[in-house]
């Protein structure tokens, strides 16, 4: 795949800075969550569920938009800690409904803080930790040859728009 200016700066399979940041941020979130819940390596018997029985997996409700980096972190976590992460992707509201109905789950990563606030108000989360902020951007070809300065400029006939799919 080539950039709009036809230079081979990015290619399929390369990890973008944003995806790398998401992976690192997610790893930090999982690490913090495990440290806070006492499920780190120092436990010889491994993680326990609410009944005190060994826990073989974690359930992670995750916004679908960051599937790729989350899968990489889940794989690494399995290799490092021997605990499988069962990933459940979907829209943040759909995931919140699943959590509310099932009353199960270990981690919830929503696409918007409002869903975390709602989960907290309903007593569905014990703790929340800010992980990242998303900021939409308009990326243009080097030098901005179409002179795009606003959202309205994207509607012009001479401008093509695309959405990234990491």
Supply the DSSP symbol for 88.
E
What pLDDT, on the 0 to 100 scale, is given for residue 165? 60
Is there a domain that residue 134 lies in? no
DSSP H/E element including 62:
strand 57-63
Whole-number Å distance between alpha carbons of 164 and 37 = 36
Cα 118 to Cα 92: distance, rounded to the nearest angstrom: 11
90 within some domain: yes
Q: In 7-159, which residue ranges form alpha helices assigned H by DSSP?
A: 17-37, 67-81, 92-102, 113-121
pLDDT tens-place string over residues 21-54: 666 666 666 655 555 454 444 443 455 555 666 6
Q: How many Å apart are CA 133 and CA 158, to the nearest integer? A: 32
Q: Does residue 13 surpass a pLDDT of 70?
A: no
Report d(CA 119, CA 125) in Å as an integer: 6
- Residue 55 has what pLDDT? 60
65-99 confidence digits (pLDDT tens): 888 889 999 999 998 888 899 999 999 999 999 99
Report pLDDT for 99. Answer: 94
Task: Indicate whether 161 belongs to any domain.
Answer: no
Give me the CATH number covering residue 75: 3.40.190.10
């Amino acid at each position: 795949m080539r950039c709009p200016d036809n230079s081979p700066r990015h290619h399929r399979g390369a990890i973008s800075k944003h995806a790398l940041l998401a992976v690192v941020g997610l790893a930090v979130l999982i690490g913090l969550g495990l440290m806070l819940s006492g499920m780190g390596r120092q436990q010889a018997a491994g993680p326990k569920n609410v009944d005190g029985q060994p826990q073989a997996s974690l359930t992670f409700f995750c916004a679908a938009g960051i599937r790729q980096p989350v899968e990489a972190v889940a794989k690494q976590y399995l290799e490092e800690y021997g605990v499988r992460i069962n990933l459940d992707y979907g829209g943040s509201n759909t995931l919140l409904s699943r959590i509310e109905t099932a009353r199960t789950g270990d981690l919830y990563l929503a696409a918007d803080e409002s869903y975390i606030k709602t989960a907290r108000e309903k007593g569905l989360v014990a703790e929340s930790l800010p992980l990242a902020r998303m900021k939409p951007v308009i990326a243009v070809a080097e030098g901005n040859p179409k002179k795009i300065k606003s959202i309205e400029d994207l509607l012009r006939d001479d401008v093509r728009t695309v959405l990234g799919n990491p």
